[in-house]
Amino acid sequence: MKPVQDYIRTIVDFPHEGIMFRDVTTLFADPRGFRMAVDQMLHPYAGMQIDKVVGLEARGFILGGAIAHQLSVGFVPIRKKGKLPGATISEAYTLEYGEAVVEVHDDAITPGENILLVDDLLATGGTAEAGIKLVERLGGQIVACSFVIDLPDLGGRKKLETMGMNVHTLCAFEGL
């Protein structure tokens, strides 16, 4: 069985020159690779009390939905501002070229629920940090943060671990 990183395509100079884009759509398209990634992302938490999986827009929805299904728990999307129809709370975070805002429904998490936060890629950790803050504002407890890819040179893991988060990744790629 080949490792998860072998299912991930690298696209050079996308979206800007000098960026090595790690494309997980090739992982998702392969039934063995996708199944392996989902299984490996949830394995450390088997037997733990997890009430909901929170997925970060957009690829975190694909992984989070599959993981929530496997764990037989609910799924909560954290979306870009303006995409959710009900009452929401929001959290701004810094991007390389400005600021963005994510939102969650204000009734999506019940205080005391144990949450597994999921996304495809951990880079600077800004989106994940915003997601964690939203969950905590609703009274949820983050059990762990699980990602397919870590880009350690960008410092996201360190940022989340400094916040006291348990961070699990399946593979790492050096550089941007």
At 45-85, the pLDDT tens digits run: 989 999 999 999 999 999 999 999 999 999 999 999 999 99
Could you confirm whether 17 is annotated as catalytic? Answer: no
3-state secondary structure of 8: coil
Catalytic residue among 22, 59, 79, 157: 59
Distances (CA, A) of 94 to 29, 31, 97, 127, 128: 31, 35, 8, 8, 11
**Whole-angstrom distance, CA of residue 83 vs CA of residue 86:** 9
Catalytic residue among 9, 32, 35, 96: 96
Question: What pLDDT shows up at residue 40?
Answer: 98
25-39, 83-97, 122-136: the lowest-pLDDT one: 83-97
Encode pLDDT of 120-131 as tens digits.
999 999 999 999
User: Pick from 76, 123, 125, 124: which is nearest to 103 by CA?
Assistant: 76
End-to-end CA, the chain: 27
- Note the CATH architecture for domain 32-172: 3-Layer(aba) Sandwich (3.40)
**Whole-angstrom distance, CA of residue 102 vs CA of residue 92:** 7
Mean pLDDT, rounded, of the chain: 96
pTM of the model: 0.96
Asked if pLDDT for residue 97 goes beyond 80, the answer is no
Asked if pLDDT for residue 95 goes beyond 90, the answer is no
Question: What pLDDT shows up at residue 98?
Answer: 80
User: Pick from 146, 139, 140: which is nearest to 165 by CA?
Assistant: 146
Asked if pLDDT for residue 176 goes beyond 70, the answer is no
Could you confirm whether 32 is annotated as catalytic? Answer: no
**Other beta carbons within 10 Å of 163:** 16
Encode pLDDT of 104-160 as tens digits.
999 999 999 999 999 999 999 999 999 999 999 999 999 999 999 999 999 999 999
In the numeric block, the tokens 């909560």 are attached to 76
